[in-house]
Copies of this chain bind each other. A is one copy, B any other.
Amino acid sequence: MTSPLTADTIADQEVLDLEKLDCVDRVQWVLNTPNPPGLGHELMESAFSWRNKIPFLNKQSGWKVELFSMLQATFPILSWCQNYNATKFKHDLLAGLTLASLCIPQSIGYATLAKLDPQYGLYTSVVPPLIYAVMGTSREIAIGPVSVISLLISSMVLELQDPVANPIAYKRLVLTATFFAGTFQAALGLFRSGFLVDFLSHAAIVGFMAGAAIVIGLQQLKGLLGITHFTNKTDVISVMKAVWSSFHHPWNAHNFVLGFSFLIFIQITRFLGRRNRKLYWLPAIAPLISVILATLIVFLTKADKHGVKTVKHIKGGLNPSSVHQLQFNGPHVGEVAKIGLIVAIIALTEAFAVGRSFAAVKGYHLDGNKEMVAMGFMNIIGSFTSCYVATGSFSRTAVNFSAGCETTVSNIVMAITVFISLELFTKLLYYTPIAILSSIILSALPGLIDLNEAYNIWKVDKLDFLACIGAFLGVLFATVEIGLLVAVTISFAKIILISIRPGTETLGRIPGSDMFGDVNQYPMAVKTPGVLIMRLKTALLCFANANFGKERIMKWVIEEENAEKTIQLVILDISNLIDIDTSGIASLEELHKNLDSNGMKLAIANPRWQVIHKLKLAKFVGKIGGKFYLSVAEAIDSFSL
Contact = CB atoms under 8 A, between A and B. Distances in A.
Interface of A: 15, 18-21, 23, 26, 29, 33-34, 36, 38-40, 194-195, 198-204, 356, 360, 363, 365, 368, 456-457, 459-464, 491-492, 494-496, 498-500, 502, 510-515, 517-518, 520-524, 526, 537-540, 542-548, 551, 554, 575-576, 578-579, 581-583, 585-586, 590, 593-594, 597, 608-609, 612, 614, 617-618, 630-631, 634
A543 B491 contact: yes
B201 A583 contact: yes
Given A21-B511, A492-B496, A544 B597 contact: no
A21 B29 CA distance: 32
Contacts of A496: 492, 495-496, 499
Given A203-B581, A544-B199, A618-B460, A363 B631 contact: no
Given A18-B512, A512-B20, A200 B520 contact: no
Contacts of A618: 456, 459-460
Given A576-B578, A581-B464, A547 B198 contact: yes
29 contacts: A18-B511, A18-B524, A26-B510, A29-B522, A33-B521, A36-B520, A39-B462, A39-B463, A202-B543, A202-B581, A202-B583, A203-B543, A356-B590, A360-B593, A460-B582, A460-B614, A460-B618, A491-B543, A495-B540, A498-B578, A499-B499, A499-B540, A513-B514, A513-B630, A513-B631, A515-B631, A520-B609, A575-B575, A576-B578
Contacts of A460: 581-582, 585, 614, 617-618
A542 B383 CA distance: 35
Nearest to A365: B594
Contact of A521 (B203, B502, B514, B608): B608
Contacts of A498: 499, 539-540, 578-579
A629 B222 CA distance: 58
Contacts of A39: 462-463
A575 B510 CA distance: 15
Given A195-B548, A496-B499, A498-B540, 11 more contacts: A19-B512, A21-B511, A33-B522, A34-B521, A36-B521, A199-B544, A201-B581, A202-B583, A365-B554, A495-B540, A518-B609
A456 B515 contact: no
Contact of A614 (B15, B19, B461): B461
Nearest to A203: B582
Contacts of A495: 495-496, 499-500, 540, 542, 544
Contacts of A34: 520-521, 523
Contact of A461 (B515, B554, B582, B593): B582
Given A537-B578, A578-B539, A578-B576, A512 B461 contact: no
Contacts of A582: 201-203, 456-457, 460-461, 464
Contacts of A365: 554, 594
Most buried by B among A40, A459, A612: A459
Contacts of A551: 368
Contacts of A491: 542-544
A363 B593 CA distance: 8
B597 A363 contact: yes
A630 B461 contact: no
Nearest to A551: B368
